[in-house]
Amino acid sequence: MLINDPNQEPCRLAPPEAFSNDLAPKELRRRLQPGRQPNQIEARSETVSRVFASRCAGDVKPPTAAELYHAMRQQEPNEREQSVLCSWVMDATVDDLWWAWSERAYSWRMLARAMHRAQLPWWEAYRYVNAHAERQEMVPDDAFPVV
């Protein structure tokens, strides 16, 4: 029996302008995970560090949370920064994408811009990110998550 997941079907990611450039509220992570270290946010994002440590362990020079933090903020990323962005887009789960946002590693707009640059066909992530668009009229009709 073949089971088709509509969230795996090709779709387009909304343009970066459809997303807010605001970072998560500072108190969000503290409220959601009160037992975590308060300084493991932004350039020290715990989620980003964990993803890179576990999924890029075999890399000659694994990316770091600080590198992702800075690469997300570049208008024209250099080769290393582009590699870090691609690693994040390729290796992070949709849950990781949200937790890293909640840790202020990037805004939804920064993430959308990075995903457009990477151009990886990760349709489920596109749909997930599209659901966070501030201007949902800019999201293609067939590009929202199917629940």
Number of neighbours of residue 4 by Cβ within 10 angstroms: 7
Q: Which helix (H) or strand (E) holds 109?
A: helix 108-118
pTM for the full predicted model: 0.92
Q: Which residues of 92-104 are buried (b: 16+ CB within 10 A; e: fewer)?
A: bebebbbbbbbbb
Q: 48, 75 in Cβ contact below 8 A?
A: no
- Determine contact, residues 114/126, Cβ cutoff 8 Å: no
Q: What is each CA distance from 112 to 12, 60, 68, 72, in whole angstroms?
A: 11, 27, 14, 10
In tens digits, what is the pLDDT along the chain, a chain of 147 residues? 565 889 989 999 999 999 999 999 988 888 887 777 778 899 999 999 999 999 998 999 999 999 999 999 999 999 999 999 999 999 999 999 999 999 999 999 999 999 999 999 999 999 999 999 999 999 999 899 988
Q: What are the φ/ψ torsions at residue 74 (nearest 5 degrees)?
A: -90, 135
Rounded percentage of the chain residues whose pLDDT exceeds 90: 78
